[in-house]
């Protein structure tokens, strides 16, 4: 079974806080598919650095306000 990446995010919460923006609207705004947004929100996929910045800017926050990193214990 594939492990989830150690990157966490609050994309779903930010969408809700910004007028219940749809996954499709966010996907269109940053140039990806709705399925990619779903995978990001569920923690199954970590976006590229460029896409991560685009997501943060879409909500007017810093990248660390959207994404976090929780490394595995050694």
Token reading at 24: 């499709």
Q: Is the pLDDT of residue 74 over 70?
A: no
Residue 33 contacts residue 27 (beta carbons within 8 Å)? yes
Q: Helix 49-59 and helix 23-30: axis angle, to 10°?
A: 120
pLDDT digits (tens, 9 = 90+) for 16-71: 999 999 999 999 999 999 999 999 999 999 999 999 999 999 999 999 999 998 87
Global pTM reads 0.86
Q: Is the pLDDT of residue 3 over 90?
A: no
For residues 4 and 29, give the distance between their C-alpha atoms in angstroms, rounded to a whole number. 25
pLDDT for the residue 71: 77
């Amino acid at each position: 079974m594939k492990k989830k990446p150690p990157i966490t995010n609050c994309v779903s919460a930010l969408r809700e806080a910004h007028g219940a923006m749809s996954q499709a609207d966010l996907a269109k705004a940053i140039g990806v598919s709705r399925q990619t947004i779903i995978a990001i929100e569920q923690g199954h996929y970590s976006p590229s650095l460029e896409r991560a910045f685009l997501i943060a800017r879409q909500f007017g926050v810093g990248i660390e306000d959207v994404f976090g990193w929780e490394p595995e214990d050694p």
